[in-house]
Amino acid sequence: MRIHQYEKLWIVGSMILIVGFIVTITYGSVGLGITMIGDEEETIAPDELNDDEQFGEPRVEQVGENEYAAYVVAQTFIFQPDPIEIPANNEITFYVTSRDVIHGFYVPGTNINAMAIPGQVAELTVEFDEPGEHGLICHEYCGSGHHTMEGLIVVQPEDEFDLTELSAETPDTVTSGEQVQLNATVENGQLEPLETTVNAEIGDQTFQQDLTVDGKSTQNVTFTAESTQLGVGEHDWTVTVDDYEETGSVEVVSNETAAAEGGEES
């Protein structure tokens, strides 16, 4: 076959360019360690998501020192959880699946980019250097409300980030003379023990207790106030742990009222 001299040179040049492209991409994968989304994750049927250990309650979880896992469910037309709160300077591995149709998982302006395909779980590990907020959007057409499908990724400073959860409760009403019990539950989702102080107020009474919650565990605290000291009427209460606050109110009712109400009910 006769090929013109210039054409031969051109072919050689083209091949060098092509091989050069392949080498740079390979360097990105092997040298810089930019891994692709692969098939390492187990599949999961969309109608089993609610019963799944990870995706039943989409959340962020600490899985190692400076390593977190974020389980995200995409569905028409929201992301769960929303917002996704994560610490800066930590390895975050997102596990993304879809409850219904094919969605996208994309943080504009970054290379956080994956498809959320029903039945499949996309796994991608990223790290945010700076605290800040980033939009999260669905970038695959998923139906009539596609353009409204967005979430938020909140990157918090590493030293301010925690996975603490506070819940608290009292009875709605307490009969005068009985004790008012305020139960507070502090959950520590991180691996390190959490050393903190619980502050509480019931009416005009204040309480304080130091507390150590082990990693991945829960502690209960109970504060007790005498209803007679509070007096009959509605009393607000507040519990705070670090930046978390729970509030509510309890009503202290007089003996007569309680008896009358009890009488009506019976």
Partner 1 sequence: MTALFVDEYPAEARLVKAAFLSSFIAFGIGALFGIIQALHRTDIFRFIDSIKYYTVLTGHGVFLVIAFTIFFLVGLYQWAVTDSLERGPVDIRFTWFWYGLMAIGSFLAAISILAGFLEQPPMVLGAELRANVLFTFYAPLEANPLYYIGLALFLVGTWLAGIDWFRTWWAWRDENPGKRIPLRTFMVLTTMIMFFLGSIGVIVSILVFILPWSLEITESLNPLLTRTLFWFFGHMIVYFWLLPAYLLWYSVLPKLSGGRLFSDPLARVVFILFVLLSTPVGIHHQYMDPGIAEGFKFIAMTNTMFLLLPSFLTAFTVVASMEHGARQRGGEGRFNWLRALPWRNPAFTGMALAGLIFAFGGFTGIVNAGMNINYLVHNALWIPGHIHAQVGTATALTLMAGSYWLVPQLTGNRLVGRQVALVQVVLWFVGIVFMTNSMFRAGLVGVPRRTAEPQYQGFDYDVGVGSMGELNAQLALGGTLLFISAMLFLVLMLLTVFNNDSEPLVDGTLPPALSGPEDSPQVLDNLRLWFGIAFVLVVLAYALPLAGIVAQSGLFGQDIPPFPVSSEAVIYLEFGLEYVGAFVT
Touching partner 1, residues 236-265 (CB under 8 A): none
Work out how close the CB of 146 gets to partner 1 at its nearest, in angstroms, rounded to a whole number: 6
80 vs 257, beta carbon nearer partner 1: 80
51 vs 265, beta carbon nearer partner 1: 51
Work out how close the CB of 183 gets to partner 1 at its nearest, in angstroms, rounded to a whole number: 22
Total residues contacting partner 1 by CB under 8 A comes to 81
Work out how close the CB of 124 gets to partner 1 at its nearest, in angstroms, rounded to a whole number: 9
Work out how close the CB of 254 gets to partner 1 at its nearest, in angstroms, rounded to a whole number: 36
Question: Does residue number 39 form part of the binding site for partner 1 (CB under 8 A)?
Answer: yes
Question: Does residue number 5 form part of the binding site for partner 1 (CB under 8 A)?
Answer: no
138 vs 180, beta carbon nearer partner 1: 138
Site for partner 1 in 52-71 (CB under 8 A): 56-57
Question: Does residue number 125 form part of the binding site for partner 1 (CB under 8 A)?
Answer: no
* The pairing of beta strand 67-75 with beta strand 91-98: parallel
Residue of the chain from 64, 66, 133, 229 that contacts partner 1 (CB under 8 A): 133
Q: Which residues of 96-115 are buried (b: 16+ CB within 10 A; e: fewer)?
A: bbbbebebbbbbeeeebebb
Site for partner 1 in 147-206 (CB under 8 A): 147-148, 150-152
Question: Does residue number 17 form part of the binding site for partner 1 (CB under 8 A)?
Answer: yes
* Amino acid (one-letter) located at 26: T
Taking CB under 8 A as the binding criterion, the range among 93-101, 161-169, 171-179, 197-205 that sits at the site for partner 1 is 93-101
Question: Does residue number 31 form part of the binding site for partner 1 (CB under 8 A)?
Answer: no
Taking CB under 8 A as the binding criterion, the range among 113-121, 211-219, 226-234, 255-263 that sits at the site for partner 1 is 113-121
Please state, in angstroms and rounded to a whole number, the distance separating the CA atoms of residues 108 and 135: 7
Please state, in angstroms and rounded to a whole number, the distance separating the CA atoms of residues 23 and 128: 28
Please state, in angstroms and rounded to a whole number, the distance separating the CA atoms of residues 225 and 262: 23
Site for partner 1 in 208-227 (CB under 8 A): none
Beta bridge partners of 46: none
Question: Does residue number 99 form part of the binding site for partner 1 (CB under 8 A)?
Answer: yes
* The pairing of beta strand 164-169 with beta strand 233-241: unpaired
Question: Does residue number 3 form part of the binding site for partner 1 (CB under 8 A)?
Answer: yes
121 vs 184, beta carbon nearer partner 1: 121
DSSP annotation string for 170-224 = --SEEEBTBEEEEEEEEEE-SSS-EEEEEEEEETTEEEEEEEEE-TTEEEEEEEE
